[in-house]
Amino acid sequence: PLPTSTELAAKALIEEKKVYWAFISYAMMPQYKPIIETKERIMVPVIDMSTSNLFTKVAKWLKEQP
């Protein structure tokens, strides 16, 4: 989500209960792993957001899109 430090984002969150996203990136991960390794041998930490109601709703909405 956009930081609530911007006046527009803060107002939308408080008054309209809306969150604006500047960018969304995700990958399917059938089994959670705290760290994944790329083919270039770069170690990438992964944050498990499955307990977040907000991210769960966003993931559900994304899966429903054509």
Q: Looking at the whole model, is its pTM more than 0.75?
A: no
| pLDDT for the residue numbered 49 | 86
How many other β-carbons are positioned within 10 Å of the β-carbon of residue 2?
A: 15
| pLDDT for the residue numbered 4 | 55
Token digits of residue 27: 């990958």
Query: Which amino acid is present at 41?
Result: R
Contact in structure between 16 and 8 (CB atoms under 8 Å): no
What whole-number distance in Å separates Cα of residue 14 and Cα of residue 37?
Answer: 39
pLDDT in tens, the chain (66 residues): 555 567 777 787 788 877 777 777 777 888 999 999 999 999 999 988 889 998 899 889 988 988
